[in-house]
């Protein structure tokens, strides 16, 4: 729908305004204090209350606590906490492992987003036409989305072993496959592909919906002008669905930054630190080495990455499309 | 369909290309099911095959005796169902109010909800662990239920519901208002029935989010009786720590197949629901 949204930004705004108007004018006048307007405001607060309490208690409070932890040293065995100021933040610069972790995070998130978006677009474009079996293929490409992450990753773990199915298959055509999960570069490729194949179905569906929102007249006009199919794709299709591509790219990076189960099950961060992404490093520091202070500092760094990406998306999106309110 | 004219690949070629592309999406699941009924010795045979002459269900029996797998299965199902129901209620209320009711501070409060959607659970898990520890709720299912049903996935659900209600023509509510219905009645009797696509998107995404939780159960739960499926699947190891391949595959198959069957039967709703999720 974003295609239409891009073309007619007013569509979403109008109903919101008329709600407010009718909301105020409607209903019989209540008793002296409880006018229908006041009652409406109260209803609004009551409706959002459970959600707000949830976010306050389970998100905002913990983030505040994480900031506090990051400024303290915490001996988990004695329970003693000592204020250390910016020491953990300074430790970020001295941590010899952190550059490797950040590199792995960059490679993984970058790899996932690039492969995911291009593969998702490719499949969506191929499926965006009428032919027999299109529904079957759509179902097949989407199916890994409903497969349990850990089950999916375990199965890929089997297949990627030195004597596993993938190398067995490669051997039949005379290729001696690598020991995928035991070498840094192939381990990274493996976690990226395992992640992408499992989740690209969601982006495919979103792209398909966007493609079908592109007005047909544009294609017809281009055809009359004699444009070939590549020009049509780069000059019409891609610009028209660019808001969707942008949003899915950001959501995909944010998702990749939070991939824990895949890494934990497939490689355990190894070999070495080659697939130790930031979330996994946070988990190790906090729960394996019990370094709550430093773990929280790393967690806040992860949070700042996600927030930066979100800001970036809002800025870019404002450039491309009129966003409601 | 908008893209009919974007390319002129011949249908047969197209089907072959898609068929090749589909291999990594389909074969791992098929292989998992096939290998789960193979005798252990055959699992690593080369070249890999999807067929066995001597199928056996012993790995399935083993899955239930090695761990309280039935109990763990029930845990995962009941937690996911409960979380989904709570989320549907909480998010449709909040999403409706943010889209339709004008109240002071609505925009600021909506930003708070967006924050809840964006903060990764890995950031909050250490403090949450301490909070639940002081509440005496470690090694119970409460952290999995409460945090999922009220924080992250629920905030995403509220966002989806709000986007949906904003796009819903307000005229549909006016008839109800003329009949003297109050806000709660309008929400329940008029808006919710119309919101079915958004509600199904929310239900699917929330159920999957809960079903796939891995970090949280690993952190909060220690007794096997309380484990959920993702956590249980990684615990099939013999006394030397070596993985029990075929048992693990049998358990994975039991975890995956019911969801896949539901999906194939209802795939139209899944995909249409997601297309209407407003995540575009």
Residues near A1 by beta carbon (within 8 Å), at least 6 away in sequence: A209, A210, A213, B167, B278, B280
Nearest CA in chain A to B264: A139
Q: Where exactly are the structural domains of chain B?
A: 2-56, 66-275
CA pair distance B201, A35, nearest whole angstrom: 36
pTM across the whole model: 0.85
Q: Would you state the pLDDT for residue A9?
A: 38
Kindly provide the b/e burial profile for residues A60-87, where b requires at least 16 CB atoms within 10 angstroms of the residue's own CB. Answer: bebbebbeebbbbbbeeeeeebeebeee
Residues near B126 by beta carbon (within 8 Å), at least 6 away in sequence: A62, A66, A69, A286, A287, A292, A295, A296, A299
- Locate all alpha helices (DSSP H) within A128-260, ordered by sequence: 134-142, 149-159, 165-172, 184-212, 216-224, 229-232, 238-257
Out of A39, A209, A261, the one facing B280 most closely (by C-beta) is A209
Nearest CA in chain B to A1: B280
* Nearest chain A CA: its distance from B23 CA (Å): 9
Q: Would you state the pLDDT for residue B277?
A: 63
Q: What are A198-247's pLDDT values in tens digits?
A: 999 989 998 998 888 888 888 888 888 888 888 888 888 888 888 788 87
Stated as kind and residue range, the H or E segment containing B225 is: none
Note down pLDDT in tens along chain A; length 325 residues.
333 333 333 333 344 444 444 444 444 554 568 887 888 899 999 999 999 999 999 999 999 999 999 998 887 777 788 888 888 898 888 889 999 999 999 999 999 999 999 999 999 999 988 888 888 999 999 999 999 999 999 999 988 988 888 888 888 888 888 888 888 889 999 999 999 999 999 899 989 988 888 888 888 888 888 888 888 888 888 888 887 888 788 788 888 888 898 899 999 887 888 899 999 999 998 888 888 889 999 999 999 988 888 888 778 777 665 433 3
Q: Would you state the pLDDT for residue A28?
A: 52
Out of A40, A154, A325, the one facing B101 most closely (by C-beta) is A40
Residues near B100 by beta carbon (within 8 Å), at least 6 away in sequence: A19, A23, B165, B170, B173, B191
Q: Would you state the pLDDT for residue B46?
A: 65
Out of A133, A247, A261, the one facing B212 most closely (by C-beta) is A261
Q: Where exactly are the structural domains of chain A?
A: 89-320
CATH topology of domain A89-320: MetI-like fold (1.10.3720)
Name the CATH superfamily, with its identifier, for domain B66-275.
Answer: MetI-like (1.10.3720.10)
Q: Would you state the pLDDT for residue A14?
A: 40
Q: Would you state the pLDDT for residue B142?
A: 96
Mean pLDDT, consecutive 10-residue segments, chain B of 280 residues? 50 88 92 87 73 82 90 95 96 94 91 87 90 94 94 89 87 84 88 88 90 92 93 83 82 91 84 67
């Amino acid at each position: 729908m974003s295609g239409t949204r891009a073309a007619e930004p007013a569509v979403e705004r109008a109903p919101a305004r008329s709600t407010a108007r009718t909301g105020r004018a409607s209903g019989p006048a209540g008793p002296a204090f409880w006018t229908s307007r006041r009652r409406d405001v109260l209803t609004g607060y009551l409706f959002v209350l459970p959600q707000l309490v949830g976010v306050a208690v389970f998100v905002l409070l913990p983030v505040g606590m994480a900031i506090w932890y990051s400024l303290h040293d915490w001996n988990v065995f004695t329970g003693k906490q000592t204020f250390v100021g910016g020491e953990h933040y300074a430790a970020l610069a001295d941590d010899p492992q952190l550059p490797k972790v950040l590199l792995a995070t960059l490679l993984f998130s970058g790899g996932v987003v690039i492969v995911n978006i291009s593969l998702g677009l490719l499949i969506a474009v191929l499926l965006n036409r009428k032919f027999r079996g299109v529904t079957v293929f759509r179902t097949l490409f989407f199916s890994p989305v409903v497969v349990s992450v850990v089950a999916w990753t375990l199965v890929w773990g089997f297949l990627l072993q030195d004597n596993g199915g993938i190398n067995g298959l490669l051997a039949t055509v005379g290729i001696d496959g690598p020991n995928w999960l035991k070498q840094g570069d192939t381990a990274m490729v493996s976690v990226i592909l395992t992640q992408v194949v499992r989740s690209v179905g969601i982006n495919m569906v979103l792209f398909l919906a966007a493609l079908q929102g592109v007005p047909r007249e544009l294609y017809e006009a281009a055809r009359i002008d004699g444009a070939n199919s590549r020009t049509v794709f780069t000059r019409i299709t891609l610009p028209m669905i660019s808001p969707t591509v942008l949003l899915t790219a950001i959501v995909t990076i944010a998702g990749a930054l939070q991939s824990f189960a895949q890494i934990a099950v497939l490689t355990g961060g190894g070999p070495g630190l080659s697939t130790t992404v930031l979330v996994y490093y946070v988990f190790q520091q906090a729960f394996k080495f019990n370094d709550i202070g430093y773990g929280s500092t790393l967690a806040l760094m992860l949070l700042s990455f996600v927030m930066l990406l979100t800001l970036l998306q809002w800025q870019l999106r404002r450039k491309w499309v009129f966003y409601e309110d | 369909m908008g893209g009919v004219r974007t390319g002129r690949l011949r249908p047969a070629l197209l089907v072959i290309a898609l068929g090749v592309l589909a291999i990594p999406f389909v074969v791992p699941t098929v292989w998992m099911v096939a290998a789960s009924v193979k005798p252990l010795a055959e699992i690593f045979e080369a070249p890999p095959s999807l067929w066995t002459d001597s199928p056996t269900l012993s790995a399935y029996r083993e899955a239930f005796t090695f761990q309280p797998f039935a109990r763990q299965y029930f845990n995962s199902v009941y937690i996911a169902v409960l979380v989904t129901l709570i989320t549907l209620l909480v998010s449709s209320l909040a999403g409706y109010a943010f889209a339709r009711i004008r109240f002071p501070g609505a925009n600021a409060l909506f930003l708070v909800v967006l924050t809840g959607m964006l903060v990764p659970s890995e950031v909050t898990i250490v403090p949450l662990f301490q909070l639940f520890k002081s509440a005496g709720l470690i090694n119970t299912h409460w952290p999995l239920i409460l945090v999922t049903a009220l924080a992250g996935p629920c905030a995403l659900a509220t966002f989806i519901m709000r986007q949906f209600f904003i796009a819903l023509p307000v005229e549909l509510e006016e008839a109800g208002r003329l009949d003297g219905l109050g806000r709660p009645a309008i929400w329940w009797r008029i808006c919710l029935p119309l919101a079915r696509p958004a509600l199904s998107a929310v239900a699917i995404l929330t159920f999957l989010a809960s079903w796939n939780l891995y970090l949280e159960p690993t952190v909060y739960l220690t007794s096997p009786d309380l484990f959920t499926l993702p956590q249980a699947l990684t615990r099939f190891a013999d006394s030397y720590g070596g993985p029990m391949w075929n048992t693990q595959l049998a358990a994975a198959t039991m975890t995956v197949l019911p969801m896949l069957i539901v999906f194939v039967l209802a795939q139209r709703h899944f995909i249409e629901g997601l297309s209407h999720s407003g995540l575009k």
